Structure 1
Amino acid sequence: MNKTDRLLAIVLELQGRRVLRAEDLAAQFETSVRTIYRDIQALSEAGVPIIGTPGTGYSLMEGYFLPPIRFTIEEAMTLLIGTDFVEQRFDDAYRDRAVVARKKIEVTLSERVRNETSRIRKSLRLLSPGKPPASSNERENLDKIRRALFNGRKVRFHYSRKFPDSTRNRHSERTVAPYGLVHVEGAWMLVAWCDLRQDIRHFRLSRMTELIELDERFEIPEHFDLKEYTPTDDRHLRVCLRFTPDIADKVKESNYPYVEDMKEHPDGMDVVLRVRQLDELLPWVLGWGAGVIALEPESLRDRIREEAQKMLNRY
């Protein structure tokens, strides 16, 4: 890294953190502490308001901001693909902001980088993961929950969930403290502390109705980190399926989330899955038609026979 690039990188590092020691900067940029001292002096002489506190480190004067002035083609592509994703999968408010952000990013690019980025973007296309765009109800709930997260307020809603092995739905009213939003398999999920269950629960936004933001405030516990959060695995029902050789590759490419193991052999491919209940697996199994045989449990074989008989009766 040359000196000019290192000076800019130092400013950006100080901008992103409160205080950094010369030793930290030297280790990061693989140079000597003496070189960092000279860099800090050069930045100060250039008018960058760096505050040095003996025994503590360096920081930028509050309110000073230096926007990135150069993007590589790869960096610009990364940011622009991100705005494309937000446009497709977020609510209207974020969609509009993504358009504005993209225009601002493009303005900062040199003509060469802008032209090359435009060329590469035309060769890339983001497709939804096999599901239709979010319903208007889901988008509306996403917007409300996003604002509640920003305001640090609880929300209340009616929630609908199917009974296992039944066509009936169970409805309940929930008051929750929203901890975060997660995009899973094309659908939005809310991770929240549920006052009713006194524990963290997950809710599909598409199943929420009459959602309102409350005046009651909350604080996310310091120990909770959405990026590190892993829900308790309660998928204890083991299912074994055998697929014919001609569709084995398609099954592997489907990336079905409940698959635990796959083993190919001359007769095809055996797939082991773990699920909470058979109903969440049944549509996927039926979608493979005669190309799949349920080996276990016997209750799944019974369910497939029942559905096949119902289909036969309809025709």
Structure 2
Amino acid sequence: MQHIDKIFKLHNTLRDRRTPITGKALQEKLECSRATRDRIIKYMREMLDAPIVYDKNRNGFYYDHDHAQHPYELPGLWFNAQELQALLACQHLLANVSAGILQDDIVQLQNRLEKLLRLNNGVAKPDFDKIKILNQANRRSDDNIFLKVAAALFNGKRLRIGYHARGDNQHSQRDISPQTLVRYRDNWYMDAWCHLRGQLRSFAIDRIVSVLELDQSSDLIDTEQLQQHFASSYGIFSGSAKHLAVLKFSASRSRWVSDENWHPEQQSQWLDDGRYQLSIPFNDHRELLMDILKHGSEVEVVAPGFLVEAVREQVAAMGKIYGDR
């Protein structure tokens, strides 16, 4: 933020005085011109709600402490013009990722940021029409359920949820202790301790059909244990990694894959023939299989054997669909 040092100096000067200070004396203290002094005072009044008053009789500026509820202090957040512009863009992204959630609060934040931005010359308000967000795999969920789940997480409370699982199409009711909210591939998940199964589980927020916050406090799991259970294997599937997938990508596809991070503990190397080899720890192979298949003939699965066989079965099944056409 431009002139931030002078803003602090002006604030400290007025805060410590009980009598007005002349404009000329302020210019000397701030080491600036009259025009700059006036711009700073205007900014503090309009944007920082500073109670700066000019007394014509005494020809000076002062803080109006008599009409303030408490001594004035500068707010704690400061941004320069570029930071404000970036924050506005992030706010726009947030509004699109979580449409409907806290929408009124987001609008108020946007209006405040736009007001701040208008005072910074040379930096335009971001044109949000030039920002495109493609939520290709986003699944619709209930905003009220999301907010209740998030509230229980931050309040350290257990939840009683009704859950409709996609895998087996079964409905169940269970008590859970929320641990972590996860945004993964454009959808929200809740990592939690499931008291029904006595295990750590991941629940898709869009599959929770009912939720009730309980009076009981959550059973909190150690962070390292959570990391080991949910982050050691590939994808959303939990559990410690038991297998290592070895994939070889064609030279042309490697130009993309070599810049991608598939897993924090992946290992990679360039081969002599120009191909790129990627090794990935995993537990459940289903999600990994889907990501392998999207690369088609540009990737070869080397190991383990059961993953090679799973790819072969899928290729054979596709051949039956398209083979006779």
TM range (shorter): 0.5 to 0.7
Q: How does 1:145-164 map to 2 (within 5 A)?
A: 145-149=149-153, 153-155=157-159, 156-160=161-165, 162=167
Corresponding residue of 1:144: 148
Q: Which amino acid aligns with 2:165?
A: S
What is the CA–CA distance in structure 2 between the aligned matches of 1:8 and 1:125, rounded to whole Å?
38
CA-to-aligned-CA distance 1:104-144 (integer Å, 9 cap, x gap): 2212334335x61415x56963534x633x32236453233
Q: 1:98–1:111: structure 2 CA closer, same or farther, 3 Å change rule?
A: same
Q: 1:126–1:253: structure 2 CA closer, same or farther, 3 Å change rule?
A: farther
What is the CA–CA distance in structure 1 between the aligned matches of 2:63 and 2:144, rounded to whole Å?
49
RMSD of aligned residue pairs (Cα, Å)? 3.8
Quick check: 1:159–1:173 contact (8 Å CA) kept in 2?
Answer: no
Quick check: 2:247–2:303 contact (8 Å CA) kept in 1?
Answer: yes
What is the CA–CA distance in structure 1 between the aligned matches of 2:226 and 2:131, rounded to whole Å?
30
Corresponding residue of 1:218: 217
Match of 1:251 among 251, 257, 275: 257
What is the CA–CA distance in structure 2 between the aligned matches of 1:75 and 1:308, rounded to whole Å?
50
Quick check: 1:83–1:99 contact (8 Å CA) kept in 2?
Answer: no
What is the CA–CA distance in structure 2 between the aligned matches of 1:93 and 1:194, rounded to whole Å?
26
What is the CA–CA distance in structure 2 between the aligned matches of 1:124 and 1:8, rounded to whole Å?
39
Give yes or no for the alignment of 1:230 onto 2:227. Answer: yes
What is the CA–CA distance in structure 2 between the aligned matches of 1:236 and 1:66, rounded to whole Å?
55
What is the CA–CA distance in structure 2 between the aligned matches of 1:64 and 1:230, rounded to whole Å?
45
Where does structure 2 lack aligned partners over 5 or more consecutive residues?
A: 13-61, 233-239
Corresponding residue of 1:296: 303
Residue aligned with 2:183, SS: strand
Report the structure number with the largest CA radius of gyration: 2
| TM-score using structure 1 length | 0.66
Corresponding residue of 2:17: none
Q: 1:47–1:189: structure 2 CA closer, same or farther, 3 Å change rule?
A: farther
Quick check: 1:161–1:169 contact (8 Å CA) kept in 2?
Answer: yes
Farther-moved stretch of structure 1 (269-278 vs 245-254)? 245-254
Q: Which amino acid aligns with 1:131?
A: Q
Q: 1:307–1:69: structure 2 CA closer, same or farther, 3 Å change rule?
A: closer
| TM-score using structure 2 length | 0.65
Give yes or no for the alignment of 1:86 onto 2:87. Answer: no
Where does structure 1 lack aligned partners over 5 or more consecutive residues?
A: 10-44, 49-60, 163-167
Q: How does 1:59-70 map to 2 (within 5 A)?
A: 66-67=74-75
Q: 1:256–1:69: structure 2 CA closer, same or farther, 3 Å change rule?
A: closer
Give yes or no for the alignment of 1:274 onto 2:281. Answer: yes
Quick check: 1:178–1:191 contact (8 Å CA) kept in 2?
Answer: yes
What is the CA–CA distance in structure 2 between the aligned matches of 1:169 and 1:259, rounded to whole Å?
33
Corresponding residue of 2:194: 194
Offset at residue 215 of structure 1 (A)? 4.0
What is the CA–CA distance in structure 1 between the aligned matches of 2:222 and 2:79, rounded to whole Å?
34
Q: 1:217–1:124: structure 2 CA closer, same or farther, 3 Å change rule?
A: farther
